[in-house]
Each structure stands twice: as C-alpha cells, then as structure tokens.
Amino acid sequence: MPKLYTFLKYFFVILWACFVIAPFLWAISTSFKDFNSVTGGATYIPWLQFEPTLDGWSVLFKPGSQGGINIIGPYFNSIFVTLTASLISIVLGTLAAYALSRYTFKAGFVKNNDITFFFISQRIMPPVVLSIPFFLFLSTLGLLDSLAGLILVYIVLLMPIAVWIMVDFFNRVPKEIDETALIDGCNPFQAFFKVVLPNSVPGMLVAGLFCIIFGWIDFFFAFILTFTKVQLLPVKIVALNSSITPWWSLSAAALVSVAPLIIVAFIVERYLSKGNLSGALK
C-alpha cells in the first residue's frame, strides 16, 4: 500500500509537472522562431530543427516605428499600479476584515457575514459589465488614462480578495489577544496597531501576494480605461495580435510577463515552507 502510494505519488506529481511546464517550454522554443519556422509545422529544438532568431525578443524592446512594442514603460507602469493598488487594498481590506472579524455589526437584516459577502461579491461582476460604467465614472473624475484612475479601479478589484483572506486570518487569531491588549490599557486603535498588526504580517503577505497576482494579470480594465499616456503590460502585449499572429514575439512576451511573478512564487513557497504562511491561510 505505501509503496503503491509512493509510486502513484511520484507518477502523478511528475505528470502534472510536465503538464505545467509544457506550454512554457513550447513558448521558449517558439520565441526563437520566425514566420517560416512556425508555419513549417511543430519543431522544438533550435539549430537542430530550426534556425533560431532573436526577432521575437527584439520586438519587445524596439519602438513602434520599427515594428516593436517597447514594453519597458508599460512594464514599470504595471509594476507601479499593481503594487500601489495592492498596498491600498491591503490597508483598507485589513482594517475592514479586522472589524468584521472582531466586532458585531447589525443594520436591519444585514450582519457581519452579509457585509463580508458584499465585499467578496464585488468579484462576481464580469469586468466587461463594469467597464463602461467605470469609463464614465473615471471620465467624470477626469481620471481616464491615468495611473490614479487605474489604481482606483484596481482597488475595487483587489480589496475583496484582501478582505476575504484577512477575515479568515483574523478569525483564527485568538481574539483574547486583542482583549488582553485592551485590558492592558490600549484603546482599540492602539490594540490594533501595537498588537494585532505586528502579528498579522503573514496574513497580509498572503493577501498581498494574491492582490499582486490578480492585479498583474488583469487585462480588461487596463484596456478600456487607458488611451495613450498610460499603458499596462498586458494591453501592450495584446497589441501584438495583428493580422498576422506573431507566435514568436507573443511567446517571448508571455515569458517576460510571467517572469516577475516567478519571484513571487518563490516568496510564497519560502514562507509556506517556513510555516509563516500556513497560519495565514486556512
């Protein structure tokens, strides 16, 4: 039994690893191809099967007048918007989650759980639905095509995630710790900042990682709400989809866009292994 289980375990894990990695390997290989090597049928190994070229990669850094998309600016825009929106979402989300976890709210039939669901339910609306209203909203505020406008929208997108994770987190932190802080002379704010917050770093880190991921991979809002001044990475990359679909540069772009988040994956794993995170997600 254990032997069979071990065998099955390795078999399945390796199988899944192959499945996970396959599209990436394909993308790496494709990113060094050109039109002719793509349309000649599936090939995998450079030099042996096709003549590699850096064209797919160079497109990402050339200006438009030379047929490139120059992702450097959008790259930093994406990082800035994602991090800022995540940070604000965490701050607001953590505060709200703390209130929902520790205090009782009641307004008619609305109770804590309903408020929590209200936060999370913001993610039910498909982005396409919200895009036009958001457009008009930001247009009224004069925030279209601006980093601030995008951050504002991303907060709506990300705060529910932060609230969801942090409510869960706080529910598992004994409330007696806060009570002790109160008894020890802290008012509720001091109790939160001096005692609760320092002990919530793991939870906030998880929430932050999720926010970063969900912010980073959004395409739709970034697409609808910006024109020329502010462009985010996915929008810029999608603009590679011309009449000819350039498999090579899209592959290179896909790899470039996932690269920074691999660092995030390492951070998650590290904290997971150290056990710091495990308390944060349950």
Partner 1 sequence: MNFKHKYVFLLPGLIVLIGILIFPIIFTVRLSLSGWNSFNPGLDFIGFKNYVRLFTDDPRFWQSFFRLSFLAITTVFLQYIIGFALAHMVWKDIKFKRFFRVLFLIPMMTTPVIMTVIWRTFFHESLGPLNDFLSIFGVQPPWLSSPSLAKVSIIVVEVWQWTSFMFLLMLAGLLSLPKEPFLAAAVDGASPFKKFIYVTFPLMAPISIGAIIIRLIEASKIMDTVFVLTSGGPGTSTETSSFFIFIKGLREFQMGYAATASFTYLIIMIISLTIIVKVLTKVLMRE
Partner 2 sequence: MKLKTLISALASVLLIGSQVAHADKWGDQFPHIAATGDIPGMCSYESMSKKDYSGRTLTINTHAIPVMGEPTALHAEQFEKLTGAKVEVTHTPAGDLYSKAMVPFQAGQAPYDIVFGFSNFINDWKRYLAPVPQEYVDQMEGVSASHKAIASWDGVMYQYPVDGDRHYLKYRKDVIDNPEMQAKYKADTGNELKVPTTWKEYGEMASYFNGWDWDGDGEPEYGSAEVMKKDDLMYAAFYSRSVAYAKNPSTPGGFFFDLETMEPLINNPGFVEALTDWVDAVNYVPPGGINFGLGDEINSFGGGQTLFSFSWDDAFVAAMQPDSPISNQVGAAQLPGADKVWNRENGMWDAKSNQAPFFVWGWAVGVAGKSDNKDVAFDYLCFFANGANHQADIGIGRFGVNPFMEEDFKADVWTQIGWDKDIAQSYVETLADMEKSTNRVFPLRVPGTFEFNSALATGTAKALAGQLSPQAALDEVYAEWVAILERVGADNVRDAYAVGVKMEDNEL
Partner 3 sequence: MSLLIDHISFKPTEEYHLNDVTLNFNPGKMYTILGRTLSGKTTLLKTIAGLQTPDSGSINFEGADFLSVPVWNRNVAMVYQQFINYPHLNVIENIAFPLKQRKMEENLIEKEVKEAMEKVGLIGFELRKIQELSGGQQQRVALARSLAKKAKILLLDEPLVNLDYKLREGLREEFKKLFSGSEASNSILIYASTDPLEAMQLNGDIIVIDEGKVLQTGSAKDVFENPATAKVAEITNDPAMNINKGHIQDNTLVMNNNVQIQIPDQLKSIPNGDYQVGIRATDLYLDDNGFSFDVEISEISGSETFLHLRNNDLKCVATIEEVKTYEANEVVKINFDKSKIYLFKETGELLHSPYQQ
**Which residue carries 């929208």 as its tokens?**
153
CB-based contact 149:138 (threshold 8 Å): yes
Selection from partner 1, partner 3, partner 2, none that 183 binds (CB < 5 to 8 A by kind) is partner 3
Nearest to 239 by CA among 230, 249, 229: 249
**Cα separation of 197 and 65, whole Å?**
51
Nearest to 166 by CA among 209, 127, 123: 209
Contacting residue, 187, 228, 242, 243, with partner 1 by CB under 8 A: 187
Selection from partner 1, partner 3, partner 2, none that 198 binds (CB < 5 to 8 A by kind) is partner 3
Site for partner 1 in 227-266 (CB under 8 A): 233-234, 237-238, 241, 245, 247, 250-251, 253-254, 257-258, 261-262, 264-266
**Cα separation of 228 and 148, whole Å?**
15
Closer CB to partner 3, 17 or 177, in the complex: 177
Contacting residue, 80, 127, 195, 239, with partner 1 by CB under 8 A: 127
| Distance in Å, CB of 93 to partner 1, minimum | 6
Q: Does 119 bind partner 1 (CB under 8 A)?
A: yes
**Cα separation of 157 and 221, whole Å?**
10
Selection from partner 2, partner 3, partner 1, none that 80 binds (CB < 5 to 8 A by kind) is none
Element (H, E) at 111: strand 110-111
Contacting residue, 54, 72, 110, 132, with partner 1 by CB under 8 A: 132
Handedness of CA 191, 192, 194, 195 (dihedral sign): positive
Amino acid present at 92 = L
Question: What are residue 106's DSSP bridge partners?
Answer: 111
Q: Does 63 bind partner 3 (CB under 8 A)?
A: no
Contacting residue, 65, 140, 187, 228, with partner 3 by CB under 8 A: 187
**Cα separation of 254 and 24, whole Å?**
9
Site string (236-255) toward partner 3, x via CB under 8 A: --------------------
Q: Does 275 bind partner 3 (CB under 8 A)?
A: no
In the complex, the residues that contact partner 3 under the rule CB under 8 A are: 174, 176-177, 179-187, 190, 195, 198-199
